[in-house]
Structure 1
């Protein structure tokens, strides 16, 4: 039994090794190269979304009434914890990566508590749960952790490097401003567009270099932020459709989440990226000589 478990763990971890250690094909060119790289990019992106994908599938598949008398929100917490434990056991995630994901969970949960409080009520979790703390189900922090998990996994699988990364102290200050504005805009005005303009200026020269196969590819880092924010906005629309949470304008009947939330998610992606990049910068040098 122990031998079969060891083989299973090695086999799962071997998938990552296979994706990152593919033999180069320097003679591949033209449409064939495009198709191969596009396919591998999609596979690596899907693998990077493993935690997010499994977690959100469980959100959509879970009956609103729960199962066997256990409320839906409580079951989702169990599922999220089980996925995390399984990924560490299968060596698809390291302990350091799990610690970072726990940090994202705490950051997201704190924001949820504030946003759902009686004085703010930006959105609400209407269903009963035993694992609600301050009116917020504990599973909710994993929705933010899913974004962090994706960035961490994609960084490794796509061999991400950043050219012209801004000074880290500046990036951290912008990230703090982004997070702070989620709280303060209820009292002193919404400065997201000013912060967004600052972030665009800060990352204007930054380029993300990634390797879908055997050659480096480049993309403006700001464009990557915007694209990730858009896909999170789509996921949020699906989540509200399945009544995982509601915005005030969705209480009578479901409606599309306001397009302005795309900007909020993009800013949250910038903040999450900054945390991941800063943690990695502590451990290794990610600058590329220019």
Structure 2
């Protein structure tokens, strides 16, 4: 990663909790001033990890709930486990809005993730790609409604990252290009069951579209950058890890896991990579990509 320092004021204004965390991380970064370059680098990486944990709060809580309910939720409770997860997800979403961690405009975009994700889940379970082995009252077909919030948590992560890290971009492809790519990716999730699987072609198109795009993210008062494609891949890796925890907790299962749990195929990274791109493009509808700030 390369660095670009600036002291220009940033927008939009953070919530009180975000401002407190920003002040804390700035103090932590300042505490590394007398350290060696290597130690200061690790210190910056630690602060980066803290902020990453903060922005993926929704997703982290959802994964924690999957594990906790698998281990401790009563097997014969009047309220099925899946329905408890749905109600908990709604409560988390309300709290995030009330605390100012998400705006109503962002919630509207996150709702698109919920709708798109649930629609894909209904189709995928119908064709046997995976199943939800437990009963739920709150469901559409064989899909419990908490699943839409799993997709929404990805949208929450990206929208909050845009604000908390003040994401900025250079050489970003035009919106009409990214929207067309996103629509093709979503369509392929359905069409490949009946036609050719275009995932590798779509990956190549994504690589071409974003080949020159860099994302700039702020840690303290310093901007760092990396290729946006690398960012997409790293998000896909963490989604894949979360999916392994989800299947380990029997929230859903693939056919290969019916006789005993096994890790989700690494090949699923390709699907999550494309889903990440589609999710990012949806977020750009409300949070348009901004150019990097120029040093004074």
Normalised by the length of structure 2, the TM-score is 0.87
> Contact between 2:162 and 2:287, CA under 8 Å: does it hold in 1?
no
> Contact between 1:154 and 1:160, CA under 8 Å: does it hold in 2?
yes
Show the 5 A alignment for 1:196-215: 196-215=203-222
Calculate the aligned-residue CA RMSD, in Å. Answer: 2.1
Partner of 1:134: 141
Greater shift after overlay, 26-35 or 196-205? 26-35
Work out the CA distance in 1 between the residues paired with 2:87 and 2:285: 30
Task: Call closer, same or farther: CA 1:33–1:121 in 2, change over 3 Å.
Answer: same
Aligned to 1:209, what secondary structure does the other structure show? strand
Work out the CA distance in 2 between the residues paired with 1:189 and 1:19: 48
> Contact between 1:102 and 1:145, CA under 8 Å: does it hold in 2?
yes
Matched, 1:273 2:276: no
Q: CA deviation at 1:33?
A: 3.1
Partner of 2:66: 59
Matched, 1:286 2:290: yes
Indicate the structure whose relative CO is greater, using CA pairs within 8 Å and at least 6 residues apart: 2
Work out the CA distance in 2 between the residues paired with 1:65 and 1:181: 39
Q: CA deviation at 1:97?
A: 1.7
Task: Call closer, same or farther: CA 1:153–1:67 in 2, change over 3 Å.
Answer: farther
Show the 5 A alignment for 1:1-290: 13-20=15-22, 22=26, 28=33, 30-63=37-70, 65-66=74-75, 68-117=77-126, 120-281=127-288, 286-288=290-292
Deviations 1:124-177 (A, max 9, x none): 111111111122101111111111111111111111011110011011101111
> Contact between 2:182 and 2:277, CA under 8 Å: does it hold in 1?
yes
Work out the CA distance in 2 between the residues paired with 1:241 and 1:35: 32
Work out the CA distance in 1 between the residues paired with 2:286 and 2:183: 15
Work out the CA distance in 2 between the residues paired with 1:84 and 1:162: 28
Deviations 1:34-76 (A, max 9, x none): 2332122111101001111111101110036557321110000
Work out the CA distance in 2 between the residues paired with 1:264 and 1:171: 17
Q: If each structure's helix is expressed as a fraction of its own residues, which one has the higher value?
A: 1
Work out the CA distance in 1 between the residues paired with 2:199 and 2:32: 47
Q: CA deviation at 1:32?
A: 4.5
Partner of 1:8: none
Deviations 1:11-35 (A, max 9, x none): x942301334647859937235323
Q: CA deviation at 1:265?
A: 0.3
Task: Call closer, same or farther: CA 1:13–1:287 in 2, change over 3 Å.
Answer: closer
Query: Which stretches in structure 2 are left out of the alignment for 5+ residues?
Result: 1-13
Work out the CA distance in 2 between the residues paired with 1:66 and 1:176: 41
Query: Which stretches in structure 1 are left out of the alignment for 5+ residues?
Result: 1-11
